[in-house]
Structure 1
């Protein structure tokens, strides 16, 4: 009998998620947030979906819209808290322009999203198109993707109050690539790189084309420590922050990378 009651409660909750909400205004104590991140053209990138909730949550639904020529949704992964709670119902529908998502926990049991902040409930996996222009590609939480579209709501545990949360949109910043440690931007990491950096730092040598790539130890500054890190990588098999592969630059970081270092 308990399982039947739980099932009925879950179905009622699912119905409330799919019906339009008439709540007025967004609740500042309940937040859905997409975390902005950077990526290279052609790269696969994960965008976390975070929740703040001042009440225990028994279910939620939302849609996320992206620019279909820039980003392709591959899948929606569960966050650590979602794996731990193991919801009884998860619906994910993927479209060229985004996705719709609905989640229900057992309302009659102990399963619910507890009060908390910055819960990583899901990670949206995108494939960045190889022709996507540089700059931010917006991803927005909305209620107009899907057939029928899902209302963007949270539903409280046991009481079933429907909450319209505050929405924080994000973006995938399409950036140039750089090979950390490739100080002279010739596409490889070799002895020429610490020599090039030493000459620039102490002898007024040629300007480093990509400052972030010269930050070999990834401490957000360029100094003698980066020369040492490069030498350790080359001759002592001590990679430190050097991976030897192309990585995304940091568009809002303290270091600049005017010239792309790799594709």
Structure 2
């Protein structure tokens, strides 16, 4: 008799444990900005039999979180044949909330086996930075609400998984200075090249972390260094208004600028998207002469330029915020161009009637193309047309003006590219 009394409770206990392992309640994890709000979801996995209802309490540490509300999850909202349950009681407290649900008093609907059922969504505000947990408890309410699911008329304690919550501080405004990258060609014979680079500012959108965005700025300062192969020749400020103060200093190794939009606060500027504020011009000054391979010259943000040194900061609300920095570069590529003579369309080294005939033939009777197309522009108007052979004939036979340089000596023009002249008598 004694053995039978002991045996039955042990059997029942094992049965309840097995059933409990078939059901699982979980609180999601997440992050909430300090002073801001966020939501966590409560989910139910059913790996056992049909569930007729449930109840539970979810507790939080009020030192970190305050529960401000709880609503039905997507599953609960339609759990009774597409509609809400017959009984659904939610009570909200600062330190958590409780739920009691009966799907259908007459047994007309149940929660079938499945996983990922969203039961509730709870809202919280964060009270201080730090890490905390939100978990199931049996201490909320009067009387306290127990954490159970109802299966075949019996209350079964499900397994329970807490959620981790990180209360994160609201970040300060964050800005990035970006120096652009570009390329330019140069003739190794003289090593001269010039290029312009856009300098931009962009604010990082941290509104998802509770930070205001975008923020108004009152000014900024910058220092950008460059390699010895080039020097800055101009730093041009580009704002939608004229700043009260904008001081530029150029050094062999870089440049600095300090900008105050308005001493009286009349002008402010936000950077919700990447916005160009400066165009910086550079020249090699012949430093690439004899270099047939080219070079990439870095543009590096430098907070040590000037005396005193100029910091890379943005001014927001009267405070200086260090900018994030994205460097740039200029790639100089060797471009070989050849000498030529204006008007020498047939590249025989002489400007005469034959060149006029060559141009007319190319224009009107599908004649051979000149190997130096730029030489056909006899009148220097940048257009290849009937006016060019006319100009040559007038020069040779009617006392017209001579073609512009390069003429009669071989030479080149500013901005000439390799495509302008493939071959000429001047090239040998």
- Give yes or no for TM over 0.5: yes
- Residues 17-56 of structure 1: matches in 2 within 5 Å? 27-54=20-47, 55-56=49-50
**CA apart distance, 1:148:** 1.0
**CA apart distance, 1:155:** 0.5
Structure 1 regions of 5+ residues with no counterpart?
1-22, 196-201, 207-213, 215-221, 223-263
1:9 corresponds to = none
2:258 corresponds to = none
User: Could you report, residue by residue, the CA deviation over 1:24-81 in whole angstroms, capped at 9, with x for unpaired residues?
Assistant: 5882321100000111112221100000012211111111111113222121111111
1:89 corresponds to = 87
User: Could you report, residue by residue, the CA deviation over 1:77-113 in whole angstroms, capped at 9, with x for unpaired residues?
Assistant: 1111111121111112222222221111114243222
Q: 2:62 aligns with which of 40, 50, 68?
A: 68
Equivalent residue of 1:83, what SS?
A: helix
1:128 corresponds to = 126
- Larger helix proportion, structure 1 or 2? 1
- Larger strand proportion, structure 1 or 2? 2
Equivalent residue of 2:108, what SS?
A: coil
Instruction: Give the paired residue count.
Output: 182
In the alignment, the residues of structure 2 paired with residue 193 and residue 89 of structure 1 have an alpha-carbon distance, to the nearest angstrom, of 60
Equivalent residue of 1:27, what SS?
A: helix
1:98 corresponds to = 96
**CA apart distance, 1:175:** 1.8
Is 1:149 aligned with 2:232? Answer: no
User: Could you report, residue by residue, the CA deviation over 1:124-144 in whole angstroms, capped at 9, with x for unpaired residues?
Assistant: 111222xx12x3221111111
Tell me if the contact between 1:183 and 1:194 (Cα under 8 Å) persists in the aligned partners.
Answer: no
After superposition, the Cα gap between the structure-2 partners of 1:189 and 1:52, relative to the gap in structure 1 and judged at 3 Å, is: same
Q: 1:163 aligns with which of 156, 166, 174?
A: 156
**Cα RMSD (Å):** 3.7
After superposition, the Cα gap between the structure-2 partners of 1:36 and 1:189, relative to the gap in structure 1 and judged at 3 Å, is: same
In the alignment, the residues of structure 2 paired with residue 94 and residue 45 of structure 1 have an alpha-carbon distance, to the nearest angstrom, of 16
1:218 corresponds to = none
| TM-score in terms of structure 1 length | 0.58
